[in-house]
Amino acid sequence: MTDSVPHIPVVIVGGGQAGISTAYCLQQQGIDSIVFERHARFQSWRVNRWDSFCLVTPNWQCRLPDFHYDREYGGTDPDGFMLKDEITAYLDAFADKVQPNLREGVDVTRVVPGDHGFTVETSISTWTCDQVVIATGGYDTPIEPGYAQRLDPSIFQMHSVDYRNVDQFPEGGVLIVGTGQSGVQLMEDFTRAGRDVHLAVGPAPRSPRKYRGRDATDWLYDAGHYRITIDTHPDPQKALTQTNHYMSGRDGGKEIDLRRFHLDHGVELYGSLSDMNGTEVSFLPDLAKNLDDADRSYVGIRTQIDAHIAREGIDAPEEPPFTKVWEPEAERTRVDLAEAGIASVLWAIGFRPDYSWIEADVFDDRGKPRHHRGVTPHRGLHFIGLGWLNTWGSGRFLGIEEDSRYLAARIAAQMEETRDLGRVVGGHV
């Protein structure tokens, strides 16, 4: 370290809710930090969301540290679902309270471990630090399959990260690829606009919204479902790899049944997209299976809730058993987009992280960080804001308070251990 290179105890990379929450919890520990954000704070919420975006989980789950929606923030609709501008207002109010040492418009280009901490190279300068927290999430690179390049250029293509509203798309039908939370909500955007919608249905599970008198997430919270940790989960690999359950917070919250959208709105359903060549696209013959699997998840959640109600002796209204409203008689595996009147493709198949700028041996063969509750095997290097960092709520508003407090405490402990070691070594010298 030289006098010309500034030093700070902790560098946090990422100015979203995870990074700002960690900065706040470090403040509570008396530890200085700096937050580098390549764009502006809360960029993903403020910019990378479509116009009609709203939360899928109820507002009461917005629990930033010491800044809960219906407590410190004073929100008046805990059972509602905030729209995009309301979400950013909540986040901005939190950041204004925290007043973190935040540098916006700064890109971190390298994190290099050294003998005594880390060197962090940025687009404006180089810093040294004792600890680094990676709070960039997993949404760096939009996923588009290689065969998308073989699609006829007359067919318009867009990834969901760039989608704002239907008016961005040319006249004609749209093929939406992906049925996670984004895909099904974009499907609804197009159906509301009266557009001809075709949907490539993937293996994403679905969830009930309201069941037996309450939101399903309320029941699951009371039943302790969200307190299950990845260490105690019966199938941790499934938890780590499974796509989020789809449902909607629109119009006060509702569930999404793709079978019903086919019947009521004429949405054409296909299996998983498998190839493209010119104007012809191919699908796997897995539509019936994917619909059945999604329904199996839906029924499974209802069964969990039923068991909790019975176990606790709760007086709750009964509901009729689930029934399928439609089943595909045959599956189309090839479609000529031009002949079908489909003028555009909207990709909603997710993102992948990019950690190529972190020069530490903490990644597995799939490029995912190895950690326990965000603490990696490389002392001083940590992650936060990832799905199932510890519980289902990790990476979401519900779990960020617990995760950031835990990580700040671990950082404080590591720094104290380092100081103790220095005192011991100094005493022997």
Range of the structural domain that residue 218 is part of = 142-347
pLDDT over threshold 90, residue 421: no
Is 2 inside a domain boundary? no
pLDDT, averaged across the chain:
96
Q: What is the mean pLDDT of residues 83-93?
A: 98
Q: What is the mean pLDDT of residues 330-344?
A: 97
Is 1 inside a domain boundary? no
Q: What is the mean pLDDT of residues 204-212?
A: 97
**Domain end call among 347, 376, 393:** 347
Residue, of 427 and 77, whose pLDDT is higher: 77
Q: What percent of the chain has pLDDT over 70?
A: 97
> What's the pLDDT band for 426 if we cut at 50, 70, 90?
low
Q: What is the mean pLDDT of residues 12-21?
A: 98
Q: What is the mean pLDDT of residues 196-217?
A: 98
What local confidence, expressed as pLDDT, does residue 403 receive? 98
Q: Are residues 163 and 216 in the same domain?
A: yes
Q: Are residues 26 and 110 in the same domain?
A: yes
Is 212 inside a domain boundary? yes
Is 186 inside a domain boundary? yes
What local confidence, expressed as pLDDT, does residue 423 receive? 64
**Domain end call among 307, 326, 347:** 347
What local confidence, expressed as pLDDT, does residue 138 receive? 82
Q: Are residues 318 and 423 in the same domain?
A: no
pLDDT over threshold 90, residue 2: no
Q: State how beta strands 381-383 and 126-134 pair.
A: parallel
What local confidence, expressed as pLDDT, does residue 429 receive? 38
Q: Are residues 136 and 146 in the same domain?
A: no
pLDDT in tens, 359-413: 999 999 999 999 999 999 999 999 999 999 999 999 999 999 999 999 999 999 9
Is 133 inside a domain boundary? yes
Q: Are residues 302 and 169 in the same domain?
A: yes
Q: Are residues 255 and 128 in the same domain?
A: no
CA distances from 96 to 21, 41, 235 (A): 12, 11, 40
pLDDT over threshold 80, residue 422: no
Q: What is the mean pLDDT of residues 153-161?
A: 97
What local confidence, expressed as pLDDT, does residue 3 receive? 57
Q: Are residues 341 and 362 in the same domain?
A: no
Q: Are residues 75 and 157 in the same domain?
A: no
Kindly report which listed range (85-89, 140-144, 193-197, 361-365) carries the lowest average pLDDT score. 140-144
Q: What is the mean pLDDT of residues 21-36?
A: 98
What local confidence, expressed as pLDDT, does residue 1 receive? 44
Q: Are residues 361 and 414 in the same domain?
A: yes
What local confidence, expressed as pLDDT, does residue 428 receive? 45
Q: Are residues 259 and 333 in the same domain?
A: yes
CATH number, domain of 26, equals 3.50.50.60
pLDDT over threshold 80, residue 224: yes
> How many independent structural domains does the chain possess?
2
